[in-house]
Amino acid sequence: MDNFYLIIAYVLSGVVGLCVGSFLNVVIYRLPNGMSLSRPSSHCPKCKYQLRWYDNIPVLSYIMLGGKCRSCKTHISFRYTAVEIANTVLWLLCALLFWKESIPLACIYMIVCSIFICIFFIDLEHQIIPDRFQIMLSVLGIASIFFDADYGWVSHVIGGVAGFLVFFLISWGFEKITGREGLGGGDVKLAGAVGLLLGWERLLLGLLISTVPAAVIMSVALRGKEGEGRQFPFGPFLVVGFGISMLFGAQIISWYLSLLGL
């Protein structure tokens, strides 16, 4: 019977994650443009065709329409479907990894994954991380302290303080030395909020995971005259690193310590 309930939980997590993924597309498109999340109803940005319910079925509608608007046949970005699939997979992973341990913690991590997806695409396109995401992550971080059996409240508090201070000092020092902005304020607040959520151990792991590929990609993208003065968003790298650390950090840290014989 326990296995039956687990299967139901996994299936529901996937279905709800798919539906939430569809809403995330609304957030990603409208929030940075200062638009209402509820009005007007979903429509084609080019011909203003109001989408019917059968045009809004996650993933399936994209396939049935051939990736085009039903009215004007304008190409629909695959990003919408990618967001829906990504959110579904991440919610399933949260259920598989944490449901048995703590249902509230699994639900918290599901919401965090959805926020990370929004930050990834908004920062990638607009190079901003809206403050409301930082507030939501901070609230979820405080809530996670009561359900996280692996990392105590001290780790979470140290992670929040250290994440904010380290990034703030790096940003301040870079600007003082070069006269240019290095890390944006959104990145600084993101590190603090996620540090509170994950604890200092997984915060450090997430930073290591995110900074290595970021350094390589940015060094290539910003090289030469074409890269001079070009701004590159760091948020997408951060949320990928933090996401991996949140989902698999305990296993990665345990594996690394075992290599050291600790």
Helix/strand/coil for 73? coil
Look at residue 220 in the predicted model and tell me its pLDDT: 75
Supply the pLDDT for residue 248.
95
Q: Is the pLDDT of residue 10 over 70?
A: yes
pLDDT digits (tens, 9 = 90+) for 33-43: 888 887 777 77
**Residue 50 falls inside a structural domain:** no
Q: What is the pLDDT of residue 195?
A: 94
pLDDT tens-digit map of 87-101: 999 999 999 999 988
User: Tokens in use for 261?
Assistant: 């014989």
Collapsed DSSP state (helix, strand, coil) of residue 36: coil
Q: How far apart are the first and last CA of the chain?
A: 39
- What six digits make up the tokens of 200? 């200092």
Is residue 226 one of the residues assigned to a domain? Answer: yes
Q: For position 119, what pLDDT does the model report?
A: 96
Tell which wins on pLDDT, 86 or 153: 86
Instruction: Give the integer Cα–Cα distance in Å for 131 and 70.
Output: 36
Query: What is the 3-state secondary structure of 177-194?
Result: HHCCCCCCHHHHHHHHHH
Identify the pLDDT of residue 94.
Answer: 96
Whether 188 maps to a domain, the answer reads yes
Residue 189: which domain range? 149-262
What is the pTM for the complete model shown? 0.90
Q: Is there a contact between 253 and 150 (Cβ–Cβ < 8 Å)?
A: no
For residue 73, what pLDDT is reported? 78
User: Which range among 126-130, 215-219, 224-228 shows the weakest confidence by mean pLDDT?
Assistant: 224-228
Is the pLDDT at 86 greater than 80, yes or no? yes
Average pLDDT over residues 110-122: 97
The mean per-residue pLDDT over the stretch 145-153 comes to 87
Instruction: Output the pLDDT for position 2.
Output: 76
> Is position 144 within any domain?
no
Domains held by the chain: number: 1
Residue-level pLDDT at 107: 96
What is the average per-residue pLDDT within 125-153? 92
**Dist. CA 116–CA 137, nearest whole Å:** 9
Q: How many whole angstroms from its chain centre is CA 173? A: 27
Note the pLDDT of residue 141.
95
Residue 72 pLDDT > 50: yes
Residue 34 lies in a domain: no
Nearest to 183 by CA among 157, 212, 214: 214
Answer yes or no: is 204 within a domain.
Answer: yes
Would you say residue 135 has pLDDT above 80?
A: yes
With the C-alpha atoms ordered 235, 238, 240, 242, is the resulting torsion angle positive or negative?
negative
Instruction: Tell which wins on pLDDT, 207 or 177.
Output: 207
Q: Considering the domain boundaries, does residue 168 fall inside one?
A: yes
* Count of CB atoms situated within 10 Å of the CB of 204: 19
- Say yes or no to pLDDT of 1 above 60: no
Q: What is the pLDDT of residue 76?
A: 78
Residue 253 lies in a domain: yes
Task: Round to whole Å and give the CA distance between 37 and 30.
Answer: 6
Contact by Cβ (8 Å): 232, 218: yes
